[in-house]
Structure 1
Amino acid sequence: MSRGLVSSTPLLVEARAQGYGIVAFNVHTLEMLQAVVEAAESCRAPVIIQTTVGTVKHLGMDYIVAAAQVAARRASVPIALHLDHCQDLTLIQQCIEAGYTSVMIDASKLQFEDNVERTKEVVAYASRRGVNVEAELGKIGGVEDDIVVSDADAMLAVPEECEQFLALTGVPTLAPAIGTAHGIYKGEPNIDFKRIEQIASRVAVPLVLHGGSGIPADQVRRCVALGMAKMNVATELKNAFSLAIQQFFAEHPEELDPRQYMVPAKEAVKRMAIDKINLCGSAGRA
């Protein structure tokens, strides 16, 4: 039995040092959360439960934290709870006080100096409470809740700026824009592997791969090998959950018991989570 939710910082430091990736799964329901934890248990893998700002507003941070804490106490693998892509300092602080063990301050739309100042503020607040902080440099394209970055506005991270940013902020984990996008790719992802290599050679902290849904397996493995110690998976997981419910109703249109249609939805999420955990090499690392 675990002692509850843990900070993701030591988990990710170990992952980067050992050359594997920990998967962070965006969940929107209790069943999705349970399925992710069951997948991590079956794989003996550390895992990060992740929620967007929209999900926090939809479910309530206290409900989310309570469910995640129960899961973590029951589990025998390390589990962290992460707030993804948040621009609101007040909400970040509220989530930390509620029990989140990792937060992302997304000030990537601001000028470099302003991003530094905003990130420093969050790092100072979170580090006193043992909470991991993730920041973004460059602009990752696609849609994440109400944060929309068009292809034209997407901007790749500059390796020299990444090094400078870390020196100025002390942020424990960094999400550099390297050509991935949120959502499902319309075509082949255009990942700049050379850029990842250049950034990883300059900074020692764990790097975060955003937009993990739909990246071909060989490219994921290459990203992880280059230093991406955390991979976010949201859209694929959400789609698997919803499509399983759609299929259930197509086959059983008369069935209205949520306890029936949530079973295949939960199983679909669990299968997807197991696949991603194995892909990133974190199975057996708990």
Structure 2
Amino acid sequence: MALVTSTDMLKKAYEGGYAIGAFNVNNMEIVQGIINAAKEEQAPVILQVSAGARKYASPIYLRKLVEAAIEDSNLPIVLHLDHGDDFEICKACVDSGFTSVMIDGSKHPFEENIRLTKEVVDYAHERGVVVEGELGKLAGVEDAVNVSAKDATYTDPDQVAEFVAKTGVDSLAIAIGTSHGAYKFKGEAKLDFERLEKISKLVPGFPIVLHGASSVPQEFVTKCNEFGGNIAGAMGVPEEMLRKAASMAVCKINIDTDLRLAMTASIREHFINHPEEFDPRKYLGPARDAIKRIVQHKIKNVLGCSNKA
């Protein structure tokens, strides 16, 4: 099986009331952990690469890891650019074999966002690649994304239909209260489901994407802190809220922080309990297993995409 686009995946997810997991990848162990979980659950999966991942690992290494994942699993897998911030990076990813790219023009005024997004759509569609756009700005810090709370804005439902029609995007990331990173809420967690419902009615059948959707499991936060970390007050999106979003128009849910926390908690614990070890395989192996467990949990209990491959 070759890399696929997300078109059929998201269509089936919309019709079936579930979501596809879009997991950020940075190295071999993360890819393997995700794919091992997806294989057991027979779930389709989106592996996405951020600007930070491209800088850390080099695009060619990441692409070859994803190609290995396809050969190993025979699952439908999308290779997606997460948060491309200009035409050139989107073009480079299209040209190098990505099957999906995101152009994040949300920092620009509405008309400029439309212009930039359409430019990417025109180039990508001519080459069989799908495009995700963004309307509204999520708060938070993660890789190259850094938006303060005061600069965050919820998606205006009245702009969505015009944006989709004028750009031709295949999916749209919206802002309804999630945020990037481990510190999503200071008080009670809340998502604007009324806004989501209004948007879904204005663009019926159109796949919506939820960024910043890690749940920040407190077991990982506690373990990180227990074994020498300093992660205070981290709070994510409750899983029941994500399940509700997946039952509506949200067809793609992005998860990155939860994988980082699971991996880091495992490594911290191993270093404390086995100070004599220095073989990377000894601590990266259990970290890979930790990623598998959290991804498998997400697929079965949050996304609802088990046995959908």
Same fold (TM over 0.5): yes
The Cα shift of 1:202 comes to 1.1
- Measured against aligned partners, the alpha-carbon deviations of 1:98-143 in whole angstroms (never above 9, x if no partner) come to 1111111001010000000000011111111221211110111111
- Measured against aligned partners, the alpha-carbon deviations of 1:174-204 in whole angstroms (never above 9, x if no partner) come to 0011111111224333210000000011113
2:131 aligned with 1:133, yes or no?
A: yes
- Cα distance in 2 between the residues matched to 1:81 and 1:32: 14
- Cα distance in 2 between the residues matched to 1:74 and 1:37: 9
- Cα distance in 2 between the residues matched to 1:92 and 1:189: 33
* Match of residue 304, structure 2, among 265, 276, 281: 281
- The equivalent residue for 1:28 is 26
- The equivalent residue for 1:202 is 202
Look up the equivalent residue of 2:193 and give its one-letter code: F
**TM-score where L is the length of structure 1:** 0.97
- Following superposition of structure 1 onto structure 2, how do residues 228-243 of structure 1 map, counting pairs within 5 Å? 228-243=250-265
1:152 alignment partner, SS class? helix
The Cα shift of 1:27 comes to 1.5
- Measured against aligned partners, the alpha-carbon deviations of 1:146-165 in whole angstroms (never above 9, x if no partner) come to 32111111101111201110
- The equivalent residue for 2:269 is 247
- The equivalent residue for 2:242 is 220
- Following superposition of structure 1 onto structure 2, how do residues 1-286 of structure 1 map, counting pairs within 5 Å? 3-184=1-182, 185-187=184-186, 188-203=188-203, 204-214=205-215, 215-278=237-300, 279-286=302-309
Deviation >6 Å, runs of 4+: none
2:254 alignment partner, SS class? strand
**What is the aligned-residue RMSD (CA, Å)?**
1.0
- Cα distance in 1 between the residues matched to 2:35 and 2:179: 25
Q: Percent of pairs identical after alignment?
A: 44
Contact 1:27–1:238 (Cα < 8 Å) also in 2:
no
| Of 116-125 and 74-83, the range deviating more from structure 2 | 74-83
Structure 1: which 5+ residue stretches go unaligned?
A: none
- Cα distance in 1 between the residues matched to 2:213 and 2:144: 19
Contact 2:47–2:78 (Cα < 8 Å) also in 1:
yes
Contact 2:135–2:155 (Cα < 8 Å) also in 1:
yes
Structure 2: which 5+ residue stretches go unaligned?
A: 216-236
- Measured against aligned partners, the alpha-carbon deviations of 1:70-121 in whole angstroms (never above 9, x if no partner) come to 1112213211111101102211111111111111100101000000000001
- Cα distance in 2 between the residues matched to 1:229 and 1:277: 13
Look up the equivalent residue of 1:252 and give its one-letter code: H
Look up the equivalent residue of 2:74 and give its one-letter code: S
